[in-house]
Every structure is written in C-alpha cells, then in structure tokens.
Structure 1
Amino acid sequence: MNVAEGGKPSIAIVDDEPDLQKLYKLAIASNGYRIAYVASDGTEALEKQRVVAGKPDIIIMDHRMPTKNGVETTKEILFTYPKTRIIFVSADEAVEKDAMMAGASRFLKKPISLRDLLKNIDEEARSVIAT
C-alpha cells in the first residue's frame, strides 16, 4: 500500500456532501493522515483511484451519491485494489449487509461523531501497517 512517511496510511474521502467532505478532510489531516483524494460520487472516485499516484490505503465511502452508489464503487475499487480498507458510512442501516458483502471493512451509521470516525480510521490504520 502507500503508507506515508511517519507511518500513517493515506486516506480518500468519497461523499457527495461538500460540508462533510470539508469536515472529514480537516479532521483526518489534522490527525496526521495524508488525503489521497476527495471525490463527490462513485464515478469520480473510480477515476481518481485509477489516476492518482499515491493510492489510498483507506477510503471513507458514502452510500447515496449521484452516478454510482457506494456499494457498487466499493466492489469496483476492491476488484482492482483488494488490499484497500473501506470504511462505509451511511444513514441507511439497511445497506450495511450489502456494504459488508461488497468488501467494506467497517460500517458506520450516520450521523457519526468525528471521534468515532477517527477511532475507526486509527484501527484500520493499525491493520494496514501490520500487513
């Protein structure tokens, strides 16, 4: 994977809400993680995943987005990059089973506190570093 210098994995944010993108980005970066990319929908995420030089180790993935939902995007990313950890975040608990079957590492129900998000990122980061 692409664990950055200093031992922290890189993270991508895939969410169609600009305010959440900014909030996640600020919280993640202020905790020492490198942001690989930010995407507003599944199609954009797949394109950025393909072209970005430093592939993310962990992706924060929303479900309901324009053009391609989080479950489909998760499947497509993991098909090509199977070691990527995906933290699936959705207000719709009914999608949890689909997200986990698609290969997500974790499912977090919105609304989620930044503390809980960062705790889950830190736990996934330890798994990335250990592999």
Structure 2
Amino acid sequence: MDDEAAIVDMYSKILTASKIPIAFVAYDGEDAIRKFEDSNPKPQIVIMDYRMPSMNGLEASKKIWKIEPATRIIFISADTGVRDEALKAGAAAFIQKPASLREIVLEVKCVIRGLNC
C-alpha cells in the first residue's frame, strides 16, 4: 500500500509478472485496513509504505496485526527514521526507497519462504 498511484501500479505489475498474487491495492492506511478486513482469505504478506494520507503505515500495520497477527508486513519507505520502529513492531522486512524492482521482488520472495534475506 503506497500513497502514490504510479508506484503502486508499478509494484502491482512487477509482482504479477513475477507470479506473486495480489489480493488488493490500497492508497491510504484506512483503505488498507478496510480492504484487509474484507479479504477472504486474508493476505499473508502486505507491502506497506510509511507515509500515507489519513494514517501512516505503522499505525495501519498495527491495526492489521490486531485483525490477523500472523500477517507479515514489508515496509518500503524513504523514511529510514522509522526502520527500527517498524522492525521492532514486527515488520518482516524494511526496504529503503528508492529500491530496484528486483530488490522488492527478491525481498517478497524471501518473506514468502520465511527467510531473512
């Protein structure tokens, strides 16, 4: 979930091309929570930006974890000041923007496999 539609579209295309299914796309924290609640089955992995309208990614992640504690969340953000806080809160990974599409796909695949890459 990212607040920039072009970035979200690019992530969606590269993940789909890499055979990684996408349950939904959201453009802000509140939308992400609503869509997560409505998903059946729940996504196992969520890609989350930190800076989003209405609610930041860390707040949205904590609400998602209340719904489904086993959800693995990968943060992708230019705001490296939240890296430690995100990882301490339970994020599976933190990717610093700008990141290559290859790096994002590799990290998602690592998290899918339960690895720390």
Which band: TM-score by shorter chain? over 0.9
Gaps of 5+ in 2: none
d(CA) in 2 for partners of 1:31, 1:37: 16
**Given the alignment of the two structures, is residue 23 of structure 1 paired with residue 10 of structure 2, yes or no?**
yes
After TM superposition, the score normalised by the length of structure 2 is 0.94
Gaps of 5+ in 1: 1-13
Relative contact order (alpha carbons < 8 A, sep ≥ 6): 1 or 2 greater? Answer: 1
What secondary structure does 1:89 align onto?
A: strand
d(CA) in 1 for partners of 2:108, 2:77: 16
Work out which of the residue numbers 54, 59, 64 in structure 2 matches 1:67.
54
Query: Is the 8 Å Cα contact of residues 37 and 67 (structure 2) preserved in structure 1?
Result: no
Q: 1:92 is matched with which residue?
A: 79
d(CA) in 2 for partners of 1:16, 1:24: 12
After TM superposition, the score normalised by the length of structure 1 is 0.84
Offset from partner CA, 1:30-49 (integer Å, 9 cap, x none):
11111100000100000000
Q: Measure how far apart 1:57 and its partner are.
A: 1.0
Identity of aligned residues (%): 41
Report the AA paired with residue 125 of structure 1: I
Residues paired across the two proteins, number: 115
Q: After TM superposition, what 4+ stretches of structure 1 lie above 2 angstroms from structure 2? A: none
Whose strand fraction is larger, Structure 1's or Structure 2's? 1
